[in-house]
Amino acid sequence: MQILIDPGGTVRCLYGEAIALATLGPLQIARASHVEPTASGQWLADLSPLAGPVLGPFVCRSEALAAEEAWITQHWLLRS
Protein backbone atom coordinates (compact mmCIF):
# COMPACT_ATOMS: atom_id res chain seq x y z
CA MET A 1 0.00 0.00 0.00
CA GLN A 2 1.43 3.34 -1.05
CA ILE A 3 0.70 6.36 1.12
CA LEU A 4 1.70 9.88 0.12
CA ILE A 5 1.83 12.70 2.66
CA ASP A 6 2.10 16.21 1.26
CA PRO A 7 3.97 19.04 3.03
CA GLY A 8 0.68 20.24 4.54
CA GLY A 9 0.09 16.86 6.15
CA THR A 10 -2.65 15.64 3.81
CA VAL A 11 -2.46 11.88 3.31
CA ARG A 12 -3.45 10.34 -0.03
CA CYS A 13 -3.64 6.63 -0.86
CA LEU A 14 -5.57 3.99 -2.73
CA TYR A 15 -7.70 2.64 0.10
CA GLY A 16 -6.79 -0.74 1.44
CA GLU A 17 -7.03 -2.49 4.77
CA ALA A 18 -3.31 -3.23 5.14
CA ILE A 19 -2.96 -0.17 7.40
CA ALA A 20 -5.54 1.13 9.88
CA LEU A 21 -5.85 4.55 8.26
CA ALA A 22 -7.99 5.96 11.07
CA THR A 23 -4.87 6.00 13.26
CA LEU A 24 -3.57 8.83 11.04
CA GLY A 25 -6.50 11.09 11.92
CA PRO A 26 -9.97 11.89 10.58
CA LEU A 27 -10.67 10.21 7.24
CA GLN A 28 -12.28 11.56 4.10
CA ILE A 29 -12.91 8.61 1.80
CA ALA A 30 -14.23 9.16 -1.73
CA ARG A 31 -14.98 6.77 -4.56
CA ALA A 32 -12.38 7.01 -7.32
CA SER A 33 -14.03 4.71 -9.84
CA HIS A 34 -16.69 2.13 -10.57
CA VAL A 35 -15.92 -1.40 -11.78
CA GLU A 36 -19.11 -2.77 -13.28
CA PRO A 37 -20.18 -5.55 -15.64
CA THR A 38 -21.49 -4.82 -19.12
CA ALA A 39 -24.68 -6.33 -20.51
CA SER A 40 -22.52 -8.90 -22.32
CA GLY A 41 -20.72 -10.01 -19.13
CA GLN A 42 -17.47 -8.14 -19.63
CA TRP A 43 -16.09 -5.58 -17.17
CA LEU A 44 -15.41 -1.84 -17.34
CA ALA A 45 -13.43 0.37 -14.98
CA ASP A 46 -15.06 3.81 -15.07
CA LEU A 47 -12.64 6.40 -13.68
CA SER A 48 -14.91 9.40 -14.30
CA PRO A 49 -14.99 10.35 -10.57
CA LEU A 50 -11.30 11.29 -11.06
CA ALA A 51 -11.96 12.86 -14.49
CA GLY A 52 -10.43 9.75 -16.03
CA PRO A 53 -11.38 7.39 -18.86
CA VAL A 54 -13.46 4.24 -19.00
CA LEU A 55 -11.06 1.29 -19.28
CA GLY A 56 -11.97 -1.98 -20.91
CA PRO A 57 -13.87 -4.02 -21.68
CA PHE A 58 -12.11 -6.81 -19.79
CA VAL A 59 -13.02 -10.50 -19.77
CA CYS A 60 -12.46 -10.85 -16.02
CA ARG A 61 -13.35 -8.54 -13.15
CA SER A 62 -9.84 -9.02 -11.75
CA GLU A 63 -8.38 -7.56 -14.97
CA ALA A 64 -10.60 -4.50 -14.62
CA LEU A 65 -9.59 -4.09 -10.97
CA ALA A 66 -5.89 -4.34 -11.86
CA ALA A 67 -6.27 -1.74 -14.64
CA GLU A 68 -8.21 0.51 -12.27
CA GLU A 69 -5.48 0.33 -9.63
CA ALA A 70 -2.71 0.94 -12.16
CA TRP A 71 -4.48 4.01 -13.62
CA ILE A 72 -5.28 5.47 -10.19
CA THR A 73 -1.71 4.94 -9.00
CA GLN A 74 -0.15 6.54 -12.09
CA HIS A 75 -2.60 9.39 -12.72
CA TRP A 76 -3.88 10.32 -9.28
CA LEU A 77 -1.76 8.94 -6.48
CA LEU A 78 1.67 9.66 -7.98
CA ARG A 79 0.77 12.79 -9.91
CA SER A 80 3.11 15.74 -9.51
Q: List the chain domain ranges.
A: 3-77
Residue 10 pLDDT = 85
Query: pLDDT at residue 49 above 90?
Result: yes
Mean pLDDT of the chain: 92
pTM: 0.84
Q: What is the pLDDT of residue 80?
A: 58
Please tell me the distance from the alpha carbon of residue 3 to that of residue 13, in angstroms, as a whole number.
Answer: 5
Q: Return the CA Rg of the chain.
A: 14
Residue 29 exposure: Cα atoms within 13 Å on the Cβ side: 8
Mean pLDDT value across residues 31-48 = 97
